[in-house]
């Protein structure tokens, strides 16, 4: 499986600004929308999403600001309804607001999906005064209705797939789209959730794993898509884990030729020359 990896001349780069490699930091807020979507009561063990709004997102905003890094924040419509000021804080700090379900629907939605995508799209657009152009499915669930609906709403990228090391043009309704790019997101190796779900990794172990992945990806195709969740429980909102995130960014900033990008910037860059991102797979 390979794509057009033919840009091997060191004087050329497939990435914005002629960078050797790019890193997109994506923050999945995963607030109380997660528990609400699971019909949990938000109390006690079901309050971990609320931590994201109260502590985790502000902590991650401070870390990103200190490093001068702009990120992409995937937000649920329900969380935007509950915390509109927080959404505007994130947007006002220069980060991208992208869509992540209404109540983090981690199940197959069937015919309900277009209406829920439209609902969250309207909530986020109204909340921050700018329409999202990117989406990442909660828990990775998609259907055949997902991409046609997103494109109709004006989206240009999806960050849900786990099937490639590089971006590639989407296939929508049986045709390769020149106006919609898949920005794959490997949610095992460069994500906090699988490491922290049951407390099975320490923050130091997570850091070591992320650094190993970072250096390997920079050496190969140069696309690094790194995801954190500011919640308690499976996320990195708590202090020691947030400190590992902080140290990871500090190290990433020292990698020669590695450029930080928001996903909307990366999508726009790719779609300026769609022929470079067309899949050659049979």
- The contact set with Zn ion (CB under 5 A) reads 28, 30, 138
Q: Nearest approach, Cβ of 186 to Zn ion (angstroms)?
A: 15
Q: Nearest approach, Cβ of 136 to Zn ion (angstroms)?
A: 7
Q: Nearest approach, Cβ of 74 to Zn ion (angstroms)?
A: 7
Q: Nearest approach, Cβ of 138 to Zn ion (angstroms)?
A: 5
Sole residue written with tokens 């067309």: 278
Nearer to Zn ion, 3 or 137 (CB): 137
Quote the tokens at residue 76: 């649920």
Nearer to Zn ion, 138 or 233 (CB): 138
Q: Nearest approach, Cβ of 165 to Zn ion (angstroms)?
A: 22
3-class SS letters over the chain? CCCCCCCCCCCCCCCHHHCCEEEEEEEECCCCHHHHHCCCCCCHHHCHHHHHHHHHHHHHHHHHHHHCCCCEEEECHHHHHHCHHHHHHHHHCCCEEEECCCCCCCCCCHHHHHHHHHHHHHHHHHHHCCCCCEECCHHHCCCCCHHHHHHHCCCCEECCCCCCCCCEEEEECCEEEEEEEECCCCCCCCECHHHHCCCCCCHHHHHHHHHHHHHHHHHCCCEEEEEECCCCCCCCCCHHHHHHHHHHHHHHCCCCCEEECCHHHHHHHHHHCHHHHCCCCC
Gap between the terminal Cα atoms of the chain: 9
Nearer to Zn ion, 182 or 271 (CB): 182
Q: Nearest approach, Cβ of 137 to Zn ion (angstroms)?
A: 9
Nearer to Zn ion, 53 or 270 (CB): 53
Q: Nearest approach, Cβ of 204 to Zn ion (angstroms)?
A: 24
Nearer to Zn ion, 139 or 220 (CB): 139
Q: Which of 131, 169, 176 is nearest to 273 (CA)?
A: 169
Nearer to Zn ion, 120 or 222 (CB): 120
Nearer to Zn ion, 15 or 78 (CB): 78
For residues 162 and 146, what is the distance between their CA atoms, to the nearest angstrom? 16
């Amino acid at each position: 499986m390979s794509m057009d990896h033919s840009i091997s001349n060191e004087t050329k780069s497939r990435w914005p600004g002629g960078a050797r490699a790019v890193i997109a930091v994506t923050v999945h807020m995963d607030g109380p929308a997660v528990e609400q979507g699971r019909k949990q009561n938000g109390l006690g063990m079901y309050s971990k999403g609320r931590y994201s709004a109260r502590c985790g997102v502000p902590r991650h905003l401070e870390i990103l600001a200190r490093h001068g890094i702009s990120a992409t924040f995937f937000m649920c419509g329900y969380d935007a309804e509950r915390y509109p000021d927080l959404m505007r804080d994130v947007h006002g700090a220069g980060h991208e607001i992208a869509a992540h379900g209404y109540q983090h629907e981690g199940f197959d939605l069937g015919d309900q999906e277009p209406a829920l995508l439209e609902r969250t799209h309207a909530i986020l657009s109204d909340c921050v005064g700018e329409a999202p152009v990117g989406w990442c499915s909660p828990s990775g669930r998609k259907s055949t209705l997902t991409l046609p609906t997103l494109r109709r709403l004006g989206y240009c990228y999806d960050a849900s797939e786990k099937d490639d090391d590089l971006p590639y043009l989407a296939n929508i309704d049986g045709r390769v789209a020149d106006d919609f790019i898949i920005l794959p997101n490997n949610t095992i190796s460069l994500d906090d959730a699988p490491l922290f779900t049951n407390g099975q990794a320490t923050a130091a172990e997570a850091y070591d794993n992320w650094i190993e992945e970072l250096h390997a990806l920079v050496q190969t195709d140069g696309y690094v898509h790194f995801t954190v969740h500011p919640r308690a429980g499976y996320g990195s909102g708590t202090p020691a884990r947030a400190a590992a995130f902080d140290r990871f960014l500090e190290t990433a900033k020292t990698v020669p030729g590695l450029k930080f990008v928001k996903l909307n910037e990366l999508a726009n860059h790719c779609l300026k020359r769609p022929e470079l991102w067309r899949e050659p797979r049979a």
